[in-house]
């Protein structure tokens, strides 16, 4: 038995930047144990498995695995999988149009295909769940997990907190971009204070006001060692939630707030994510994230 797979660099407009993704096609015959083993073999932040949908009105069921476990939703896997299917042009005998819909454990994920001259160049997803602000997290916990000092956290902007748009993350605003750059994840501290049952990991970010080389509004790093991802190069599920958080903190109402985030620079895999949050009557009503993608590999898995 052989299954086709493709790999994609997501949230980048050049090869070997962004976040790596492997997409296993026509994976309906694989059980969870084998999918987890394949994801561990690839050892990318995530691997997706494209399966026939339960509802024929949808494009596919998509299962998402990190090297250690399955997650109900993630950002770069959805953007990259939609881009990969658009390049192939069909899935399960149906043509891929301008929008795909993926059945996932967190809910239905609509993804718009971005094209240039008819060719797919990226995609943008809408979160499967509404923005939800969770509990505060102590600054000393963030400091221990990120190898910084509590005074390095800009608590006057907001207290570190949990938030989710389908996958729970912890968010902390750093006092400066330099703090973000010198952070070092401490796996033992994560295991003690933020186990996998509490959140996926931490996003440490700092506003840069569009002064980054790529014009980004924020610089960010994401650490998720409890899920086998010590540092992630581009994290759609975290940054789409960050967009919701920033919108919730902003006094503006009845607006769409757009935030661009630079990530992966310290890893040598620079990424650019474009996040949006709709706000009406003081509440966040929808969140989206997208970016460009680049194809990298096309091969087959030998399973017999």
* Rg over CA atoms, the chain: 18
Strand partners of residue 90: 95
- The owner of tokens 């049952």 is 197
Q: Torsion angle of alpha carbons 82, 84, 86, 87, nearest 10°?
A: 160
Q: What is the Cα–Cα distance from 196 to 35, expressed in whole angstroms?
A: 20
Helix (H, G, I), strand (E, B) or coil at 299: strand
Q: What is the Cα–Cα distance from 16 to 214, expressed in whole angstroms?
A: 17
Strand partners of residue 63: 49
Active site residues: 46
For strands 283-302 and 271-280, give the pairing: antiparallel
Q: What is the largest CA-CA distance in the chain?
A: 58
The torsion angles phi and psi of 72, rounded to 5 degrees, stand at -75, -15
């Amino acid at each position: 038995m052989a299954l086709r797979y493709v790999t994609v660099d997501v949230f980048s407009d050049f090869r070997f930047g962004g976040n790596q993704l492997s997409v296993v096609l026509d994976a309906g015959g694989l059980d969870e144990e084998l999918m987890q083993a394949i994801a561990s073999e690839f050892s990318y932040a995530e691997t997706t498995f494209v399966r026939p949908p339960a509802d024929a009105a949808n494009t596919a069921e998509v299962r998402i695995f990190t090297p250690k476990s399955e997650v109900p939703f993630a950002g770069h896997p959805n953007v990259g999988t939609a881009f990969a299917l658009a390049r192939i042009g069909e899935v399960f005998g149906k043509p891929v149009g301008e929008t795909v819909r993926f059945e996932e454990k967190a809910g239905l994920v609509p993804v718009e295909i971005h094209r240039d001259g008819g060719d797919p160049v990226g995609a943008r997803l809408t979160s499967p769940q509404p923005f939800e602000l969770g509990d505060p997290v102590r600054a000393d916990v963030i400091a221990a997990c990120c190898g910084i000092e509590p005074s390095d956290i800009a608590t006057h902007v907001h207290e570190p907190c949990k938030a989710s748009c389908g996958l729970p993350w912890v968010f902390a605003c750093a006092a400066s971009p330099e703090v973000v750059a010198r952070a070092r994840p401490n796996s033992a501290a994560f295991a003690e204070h933020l186990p996998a049952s509490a959140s996926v990991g931490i996003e440490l970010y700092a506003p840069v006001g569009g002064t980054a080389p790529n014009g980004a509004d924020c610089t960010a790093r994401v650490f998720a060692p409890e899920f086998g991802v010590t540092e992630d190069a581009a994290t759609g599920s975290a940054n789409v939630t960050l967009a919701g958080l920033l919108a919730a903190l902003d006094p503006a109402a009845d607006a769409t707030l757009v935030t661009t985030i630079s990530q992966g620079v310290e890893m040598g895999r620079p990424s650019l994510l474009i996040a949006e949050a709709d706000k009406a009557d003081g509440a966040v009503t929808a969140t989206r994230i997208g970016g460009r993608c680049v194809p990298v590999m096309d091969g087959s898995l030998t399973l017999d």
